[in-house]
Structure formats: structure tokens, C-alpha cells
Amino acid sequence: MKRFLPVLMTAVFAALSLSSVPAAAAQAEPIRIYVDEYAEGQVMSHVAKQVIETTYDVPVELKMVAVGPAFLGVANDDRSLFLVAWLPRTHGAYMDRVGDDVDNLGELFDGARLGWAVPAYVPEDALASIADMKDPAVAEKLGGSIQGISAGAGLMQVSEETIDGYGLDDDYRLITASSAAMTAALKRAIDNKEWIAVTAWSPHWMWERFDLRYLDDPKGVLGGREHVDAIASKGLAKSEPEVHAMLKRMHYTLDQINTALVNAEETSYAEAAQTFIDEHPDVIAEWTGRDAQNQSAAN
């Protein structure tokens, strides 16, 4: 019995320790943030994760997926988010499919744009617009290719439509790759002063790193200005009303996003997110509805 007593007491103390954990903390399910390869989505998702976990003590998990599964995931989950819904053009088909089953929390930043870009040293009198790519001499200089990103990206879908719309099918192929492979190909071309056309979007750190310009799109096939929205599961407003309210207040300027993206490219997405939080306590306080001093203490 004496040998058994310490074991029994250990079990009792363990049970008491578990029972002392607040029920909400013990039972809280994580909020899942779906993340695709868009760099701005990576940074904003890491910022949201850190703010939600430190301010509201709610666990968050980041799940890497392609764009389509991100929209479907938010529509089918009870506690999930996707922070880079490019609308109305780029991800419009996905939103049309799930729009009734998700909660659009509003625009996250201004100035979003997508298109095709070339290095600024490419002569503008030879290549100023997508229509100029029909010129055989231009096609030869570009190697008959447009450097793209991942196959599931909305930008790739509209780029295929752009090739059709400008009758470039016989002269060009759209190269599928990751975003990192696209920027690596861009850097190699610039280092060698070669011509290259890439699928591009703003914000992105490449605009800070390289001297680029968008090609004009006279037919408007790539669409006009976009807005980037956050979407959430329908049930999040009920299960996490404070988090839901914070996300509706979340908004960045284009300069803030661009700076964070440069930091992320030099360090990591998580570090860039923490730097943004540390350098913008007033912004975080505005999102959370708490004064900056208390917010800094929470972070």
C-alpha cells in the first residue's frame, strides 16, 4: 500500500492539474488559415496567426493548399480563413462556386493588380503591350515563352485566356512553375540582360528588387484593378466573434505590404510578420480594438 500511495497521489495531482485548465483553452479547436503560394498571402496569414494567438489565445494552424481547395475548404469548414481572394476577375470562378457558403470579410489592401511584366530595359518602342507580342521578332527575343507560376493559380487561368484573346497560341507557350521558379527565371534573365515576359502581380517583392513594367492590355483580357478580400467560414462569426470582428477591421496599405514582402524575401514569412507587428502597434491596436500599449504587452 505504501508503494502504491505515491503513484496514486501522482495520478490525483495530474487529474487536478488538467481540471484546472480553463475549459475553453482545453477544448479550443484551431482556426485553420489556408495559404497558397502568393507571397502577400503568406505574410498576411502569418500576421493573422500571431495576432489571433497572442491577443485572443486561440490556436491557429496554417495549411498550404492550391487556390481551389482553399475556397472549398473555407466553404466546408466551420473555423477557417483564406486571406487572398483576388476579385472580381482572378478568383471569380471560385467565388461564384462557393460565394453563398462563405463570409466575405472585405478588402485587405488597396492597389492590387495582375498582368504580364517585362524588365524595363526591354525597349518600349518594340514591346509596350501584349498586342506587340504578335511580332515575330518579339516572339524570337522572348524565346516563344511566357514564364508562369503554379497551374492552379487564377493568374495562370486568365493568362491562358489572354493567349487565346491575342492569338498568341502558335507563337508562345505558358510555362508552369512555382512562384519561386518564376522569380528565379526573371533574375537570371535580368542578370544576362535577356528579354523575358512573366506573369506578375502587385504587391510582390520583385517590384522592389527589379526595375520592371507591366505590358499594356488593350483588350482588357487580364482584367482591371483587383481587390484582395478575406473570406471566412460561415460559422466563425458565432464561434469566435472577437476574432471575426478583428479580421473585418484588418487592412494594410500597399507600402506596408511591399515592405513586409521585401523583409520576408530576406528573412522568412514568420519573421517578416513579427517585424510588421512590432513596427505597427497602432495598426494592430486599431484592428483589435485595444490600445497600443496593451496590445504591445500581449505581443
- pLDDT tens per residue across span 282-296: 999 999 998 655 555
How many other β-carbons are positioned within 10 Å of the β-carbon of residue 238? 10
pLDDT digits (tens, 9 = 90+) for 47-59: 999 999 999 999 9
The whole domain housing 59 covers 28-112+226-298
| Contact in structure between 25 and 57 (CB atoms under 8 Å) | yes
For residues 146-169, give the mean pLDDT.
93
Q: 214, 241, 265: which is the final residue of a domain?
A: 214
Q: How far is CA 148 from CA 151, 183, 224, in A?
A: 8, 10, 19
Q: Are residues 123 and 184 in the same domain?
A: yes
- Residue 19 clears pLDDT 60, i.e. is over it: no
Q: Is the pLDDT of residue 26 over 60?
A: no
Task: Using the predicted structure, report yes or no on whether residue 3 has a pLDDT greater than 50.
Answer: no
pLDDT tier at 280, thresholds 50, 70, 90: very high
pLDDT of residue 296: 54
Q: Specify the pLDDT at position 282.
A: 97
In angstroms, rounded to a whole number, what is the distance separating the alpha carbons of residues 157 and 145? 16
What is the rounded distance in angstroms from the CA atom of residue 197 to the CA atom of residue 186? Answer: 8
Determine if the peptide bond prior to 136 is cis (ω within 30°): no
Q: What is the tally of structural domains in the chain?
A: 2
Query: Has residue 220 been placed in a domain?
Result: no
Residue 242: pLDDT above 60?
Answer: yes
Residue 226 confidence class, pLDDT cut points 50, 70, 90: confident
Higher pLDDT, residue 298 or 166: 166
Q: Identify whether residues 84 and 45 lie together within a single domain.
A: yes
Contacts of 99 (CB under 8 A, 6+ apart): none
Q: Are residues 107 and 239 in the same domain?
A: yes
Residues 102 and 231 in one domain: yes
Distance CA 108, CA 248 (A): 9
- Asked, for residue 11, whether it belongs to a domain, the answer is no
Whether residue 142 is found in the same domain as residue 287? no
Mean pLDDT over 208-232 rounds to 91
Residue tagged 487564377 (cell numbers): 154
Whether residue 204 is found in the same domain as residue 128: yes
% of the chain at pLDDT higher than 70: 87
Residue 33 belongs to a domain: yes
What mean pLDDT comes out for the span 131-135? 98
Where residue 77 sits, what CATH number does that domain have?
3.40.190.10
Q: Tell me which of 173, 190, 214 is where a domain ends.
A: 214
Distance CA 48, CA 154 (A): 23
Is residue 257 a part of any domain in this protein? Answer: yes
130 and 209: one domain?
yes
One domain for residues 261 and 240: yes
172 domain residue, yes or no: yes
> Which of 5-9, 118-122, 235-239, 257-261 has the lowest average pLDDT?
5-9
> Do 197 and 238 fall within a single domain?
no
Among the residue ranges 75-84, 113-122, 219-228, the one predicted with the least confidence is 219-228
Considering the domain architecture, whether residues 232 and 269 belong to the same structural domain is answered as yes
- Domain boundary among the residues 162, 186, 214 is at 214
Residue 151 has a pLDDT of 87
Mean pLDDT of the chain: 89
> 140 and 164 in one domain?
yes
Model confidence band, residue 299 (pLDDT cutoffs 50, 70, 90): low
16 in a domain, yes or no? Answer: no
pLDDT at 24 over 60: no
CA distance 299 to 297: 5
Question: What pLDDT score does 214 carry?
Answer: 96
pLDDT at 21 > cutoff 80:
no
> Is 202 found in the same domain as 148?
yes
pLDDT at 23: 43
CATH number at residue 152: 3.40.190.100
In a domain, 3, yes or no: no
**Is 208 inside a domain boundary?**
yes
For the cut 80, the answer to whether the pLDDT of residue 253 exceeds it is yes
